[in-house]
Amino acid sequence: MPVSKSMQLLKDDLWKNNPVTVQILGICSTLAVTNIFLNTLIMGLGLTFVTAFSALTISLMRNVIPPRVRMMVQTLVISSYVVIVDISLRAYVPDISRALGPYVGLIITNCIIMGRMEAFASGNKPLLSLWDGVLSGIGYSWVLLVIAFVRELLGFGTVLGIQVMDPLIHGLGYTGGWVQWSFMIMAPGGFFMLALFIWIANSVSGHKLTHSGS
Amino acid sequence: MWLSKGPGGRDENQNTAVHEHKTGDSMKRALTTVFFMAAVTAVFIAALAAVNELSRSRIRMNTRIQELKSVMYAFDVMPGGMREDALPPNASTGDLPWNNADLIEIRSREFILRSVPVPDSLKPLLKNSFLTTGDSVLIWIRVDSSGMPSAYGFHLRGKGLWGTIEAFAAVNADLSAMTGIDFLSQVETPGLGARISEQEFKSYFRNLGLGRFSHTASGQDGISMVRKKDASNRQVQTHELQAITGATQTCDGVLDMLNTDLRFYLALLRGASGVMQAGTEFSE
């Protein structure tokens, strides 16, 4: 695996060409599962697993897949890994599986995965594709985790389910505790947080997005 | 003579041969593609079937344990030595430190399940209910050491803001108060409506008075909700629950579900004096 190319992928997937902030992919789940940090973490791990192993599998098969059915094969591979994630969650962490509800099954519709299969895995060597899959998953997850951290903190006053705002407010000498920002927990809170995040991220990196996306 | 030549300067015989060759090629390619797709699909299906087979019993066990935890919660059976008021207000049933073996042991020792026939006279009570009953309903019965029923439990179904709410409720043997409730499934807004699954909301169902359901003539709802309750129903029994601020639609849904389905179940249990005899033993 060429070091320079892997480093380039690292920079691109995590920041310069981040799937969420720059490519604006995977937005549906970004809005839906980011009100509780733990759920977001599991979702991120699920997506990273699916993207990484789908990329590896597609890359291994890339020279034998007939071009006209390549997308069918990609969908088949991705959905198989999604089902494996779904079954594993139901078997080993049933509470989180219930909390994530239909969103695990909907990982298959996440454009990031299909995008990486088409744009990268079907034309690159297996290890490099696996690396790209892992990084794309992490690139998606870290953005979601930052959003989830803020939404959970303001919405519930908690971090990973542990109340932190109440003690902080009492520590500052105020009474009454943290007033939960219900807005942050609901869908509009997700929209605002995501928009803010994309704004900040693109201002920092100097990206200018136009309507055509260029 | 030039008319018989094709565009490439070949004659017609050559063209036909090329065409046939091409048709044969594309046919072969199409068949290869179909076989490839079928083979790949078969491989992945086999892999998924294997994963499913390996985890099936575990998933079935998880579902059963989850349901048993809810049933125990509704019947106010806590894991050994656990005090309910020690739970944080946002605790859910999944947080209770149950040991699976204990759950199954208590289930078989203290509970029986009966399928109780629904008389035609009671069916109109379910007109506005989301409960789907056939000719019979399942009733969980908790029996004391002398074999007498000490509480009854049953499934409720209602409509929340986003979807169906399913619950399991239990009432005491003389049908005067609720023992408890747990919500088996709901898709309400996390942090707002979804808080019906939290300990704080559910705690007001303990010892909730059901007296209003006996005088049906008044037209009053059996249970009502208030914004703030000063004491739990365990301390001072009332027919009131404490609503969740910001989740009016969910609370209304829960209230409708209770008032409709409880009225039906209480009438059924009152009618079938000795559900133990009326029903037939049901095995899970």
Per-residue model confidence as pLDDT tens digits over B213-237: 876 555 678 898 999 988 999 999 9
Residue of A nearest to B38 (CA): A73
Model confidence pTM above 0.95: no
The parent domain of residue B224 ranges over 66-82+91-281
Q: Of the candidates B51, B105, B57, B54, which has an alpha carbon nearest to the alpha carbon of residue B77?
A: B105
Cβ density class A130-161: b for 16+ within 10 Å, e for less: bbbbbbbbbbbbebbbebbebbbbbbbbbeee
Q: Is the pLDDT of residue B1 over 50?
A: no
Structure tokens given for B282 = 């049901």
Range name among A130-134, A190-194, A209-213, B189-193 with the lowest pLDDT average: A209-213
Q: Give me the mean pLDDT over the B35-50 stretch.
A: 95
In this prediction, residue B280 carries a pLDDT of 63
Q: Is the pLDDT of residue B187 over 50?
A: yes
Strand partners, B185: B166
The reply to whether B223 falls in a domain is yes
pLDDT digits (tens, 9 = 90+) for B87-113: 888 788 888 888 889 999 999 999 999
In this prediction, residue A130 carries a pLDDT of 96
Q: Give me the mean pLDDT over the A122-126 stretch.
A: 93
Range name among A135-149, B152-166, B259-273 with the lowest pLDDT average: B259-273
The overall average pLDDT reported for chain A is 87
Q: How confident is the model at residue B281 (pLDDT cuts 50, 70, 90)?
A: low
From the candidates B53, B54, B58, B62, which should be mutated to test the interface with A, based on the most A CB atoms within 10 A?
Answer: B62
Q: Is the pLDDT of residue A194 over 60?
A: yes
Q: Give me the mean pLDDT over the B189-199 stretch.
A: 85
Range name among B1-5, B13-17, B53-57 with the lowest pLDDT average: B1-5
Is B192–A182 a contact, with Cβ atoms under 8 angstroms apart?
yes
Contact A73, A61 (CB under 8 A): yes
The reply to whether B246 falls in a domain is yes
Q: How confident is the model at residue B241 (pLDDT cuts 50, 70, 90)?
A: very high
The reply to whether B155 falls in a domain is yes
Count of domains forming chain A: 1
* Highest-confidence segment of A31-35, B198-202, B271-275: B198-202
Q: Give me the mean pLDDT over the B74-90 stretch.
A: 85
H-helix or E-strand containing A192?
helix A187-205
Q: Is the pLDDT of residue B2 over 50?
A: no
H-helix or E-strand containing A163?
strand A162-163
Nearest to B62 among A36, A90, A155 (CB): A90
Range name among B114-123, B129-138, B243-252 with the lowest pLDDT average: B129-138
Is B55–A77 a contact, with Cβ atoms under 8 angstroms apart?
no
Q: Regarding predicted confidence, which is higher, B131 or B46?
A: B46
ipTM: 0.78
Residue tagged 């559900």 (tokens) = B275
CA A133 to CA A53: how far, in whole Å?
7
**Chain B closest CA to A163's CA: distance in Å?**
11
Nearest to B190 among A36, A68, A95 (CB): A36
Is B36–A64 a contact, with Cβ atoms under 8 angstroms apart?
yes
Is A87–B52 a contact, with Cβ atoms under 8 angstroms apart?
yes
Contact B95, B184 (CB under 8 A): no
User: Which residues of chain A have a CB within 8 Å of the CB of B189?
Assistant: 185-186
The reply to whether B152 falls in a domain is yes
The parent domain of residue A35 ranges over 3-205
Q: Of the candidates B173, B157, B166, B244, which has an alpha carbon nearest to the alpha carbon of residue B210?
A: B173
**CB–CB contacts below 8 A, A to B:** 62
**Chain A closest CA to B59's CA: distance in Å?**
5
Is B191–A180 a contact, with Cβ atoms under 8 angstroms apart?
yes
Q: How confident is the model at residue B284 (pLDDT cuts 50, 70, 90)?
A: low
Count of domains forming chain B: 1
Q: How confident is the model at residue A43 (pLDDT cuts 50, 70, 90)?
A: confident
In this prediction, residue B278 carries a pLDDT of 56
Q: How confident is the model at residue A47 (pLDDT cuts 50, 70, 90)?
A: very high
From the candidates A90, A100, A108, which should be mutated to test the interface with B, based on the most B CB atoms within 10 A?
Answer: A90
Structure tokens given for A41 = 């973490």
The reply to whether B44 falls in a domain is no
CA B139 to CA B133: how far, in whole Å?
12
The reply to whether B103 falls in a domain is yes
Tell me A120's DSSP state: T
Contact A44, A118 (CB under 8 A): no
**Chain A closest CA to B185's CA: distance in Å?**
9
User: Which residues of chain A have a CB within 8 Å of the CB of B44?
Assistant: 76-77, 80
The reply to whether A212 falls in a domain is no
| Residues belonging to chain B with any Cβ–Cβ distance to chain A shorter than 8 Å | 29, 32-33, 36-37, 40-41, 44, 47-48, 51-52, 55, 58-59, 62-63, 66, 92, 94, 187, 189-192, 246
Contact with chain B for residue A63, Cβ under 8 A: no
pLDDT digits (tens, 9 = 90+) for B120-153: 888 888 887 888 777 888 999 999 888 889 999 9
The amino acid occupying position B191 is: G
Contact with chain B for residue A68, Cβ under 8 A: yes
CA B211 to CA B238: how far, in whole Å?
9
Is B36–A65 a contact, with Cβ atoms under 8 angstroms apart?
yes
Contact with chain B for residue A188, Cβ under 8 A: no
Contact with chain B for residue A160, Cβ under 8 A: no
**Chain A closest CA to B40's CA: distance in Å?**
8
Q: Is the pLDDT of residue B7 over 80?
A: no
Residue of B nearest to A88 (CA): B55
The overall average pLDDT reported for chain B is 85
Structure tokens given for B132 = 């789907």
pLDDT digits (tens, 9 = 90+) for A51-108: 999 999 999 999 999 988 999 999 999 999 999 999 999 999 887 787 777 778 878 8
